[in-house]
Amino acid sequence: MAQPQLTFFCELEADRLQRLFADEAVVKGLRAVQGSVSLGILDLSPERAAVVRLLNQHHIPVIAWQLLPKEQGYWFNVDNAPQAAARYQAFKEWTAEHGLRWDGVGLDIEPDIREMRQLTVDRWSLLPVLLQRGLDTERLRRAQMQYQILVAQIRADGYRVDSYQMPLIVDERRAGSTLLQRLAGLVDIAVDREVLMLYSSLMPYGAALLWSYAPDAQSVGVGVTGGGVEIEGVTPSPPLDWDEFSRDLLLAHCWTDDIHIFSLEGCVQQGFLSRLPDFDWEAPIVPPVESAAQVQRLRQALRAALWASAHPWLVTMGLLSILWMLRGGRGKRKT
């Protein structure tokens, strides 16, 4: 079994980013596994541009992972499409100014980081907001149109477009619903490559959830090996150790030849990058079949609920029909 295409997420402030790539072993390690880097564009600084040029010089493909300032939500979501478009235009100017080359552009679709902070302070304060969003379909429709215009612009500029999506988006599609998107601020957009973020260190059921969703993924994101943005009030989960990381790589590779790893800095810190060139991609792996079956049942229940949310009148008519038949049956027995 051949080695899959490996892409490493890297999400560091400019000074830490420079220190990471000041170590020649990092570039050598990336070249040894023919890896790509999805580089978080936290700023449009000369220091970040210098790192991109270094990777360009060593022919290491770099994806421009688009991000916003935290006061604008950080990740792309239903409410900040105009800011996302403006950021991309500024990114293009920065790219031209520094003569940078990109293998693609990545759009990270996640809830607003400010709301995630709010959940740790007073989760009930968001309840009225969520109730209002649940009824507002126009907000999502408008955002989808704006993001599809942005995707078309990126493609017209000659870049492949990747998206980084939460796995529940798969169940929402199958159910024909938009409820999760309206509540969480997610946006389901058509791109060239979709990466499902199946980080077992962050999710209940861990590897089982990865195994359940991986068949639906064009590319599987595994992790977390360390690093990532800090959210006030949220205690980071322990990073994967080598055995857990190896397990997730093998499970993902059963379904795809395209794997994203979060994160590069975590792999360097734990010594994983230097071990990957000798990784045995044909090593035996026992899938978590039983626990994955539990995940599948939960997913089926979720899809049923989402389908019902998308077809309330059909559900209402069905329930009324059942009540009518039961009432009619009782009436016949009385005679």
Residue 198, pLDDT score: 98
pTM above 0.75, yes or no: yes
Which residues are CB-neighbours of 243 under 8 A, at least 6 positions away? none
322 pLDDT higher than 80: no
- Cβ 201 vs Cβ 239: under 8 Å: yes
Q: Which of 146-160, 172-186, 280-294, 301-315 has the lowest mean pLDDT?
A: 301-315
Residue 333, pLDDT score: 46
Per-residue pLDDT tens for 143-172? Answer: 999 999 999 999 999 999 999 999 999 999
Name the amino acid, one letter, at 203: M
Structure tokens of 252?
């993902």
Residue 312, pLDDT score: 63
Domains of the chain by start residue, with CATH: 5-334 (3.20.20)
pLDDT band at 264 (very low <50, low <70, confident <90, very high): very high
CA distance 161 to 149: 12
Per-residue pLDDT tens for 28-67? Answer: 999 999 999 999 999 999 999 999 999 999 999 999 999 9
Q: Which long-range contacts (CB under 8 A, 24 or more apart) does 72-76 make?
A: 73/112, 73/113, 73/114, 74/112, 74/113, 74/229, 75/108, 75/109, 75/110, 75/111, 75/112, 75/113, 76/107, 76/108, 76/109, 76/110, 76/147, 76/187
pLDDT band at 118 (very low <50, low <70, confident <90, very high): confident
Length of the chain: 335
Residue 40, pLDDT score: 98
Structural element, H or E, at residue 219: strand 219-223
Residue 132, pLDDT score: 78
Q: Rg (Cα) of the chain, in Å, rounded? A: 22
Task: Report percent pLDDT > 90 for the chain.
Answer: 80
Beta strands in 87-216 (DSSP E): 104-108, 161-165, 193-197
pLDDT band at 208 (very low <50, low <70, confident <90, very high): very high
Whether the ω angle into residue 224 lies within 30 degrees of 0, i.e. cis, is: yes
CA 19 and chain centroid, separation: 26
Mean pLDDT of 273-287: 97
Which residues are CB-neighbours of 180 under 8 A, at least 6 positions away? 168, 169, 172, 186, 306
CA 106 and chain centroid, separation: 10
Residue 125, pLDDT score: 74
- Cβ 277 vs Cβ 33: under 8 Å: yes
CA distance 177 to 312: 11
Per-residue pLDDT tens for 128-139? Answer: 777 777 878 899
Question: Cβ–Cβ contacts within 10 Å for residue 237, how many?
Answer: 13
pLDDT band at 335 (very low <50, low <70, confident <90, very high): very low
pLDDT band at 334 (very low <50, low <70, confident <90, very high): very low
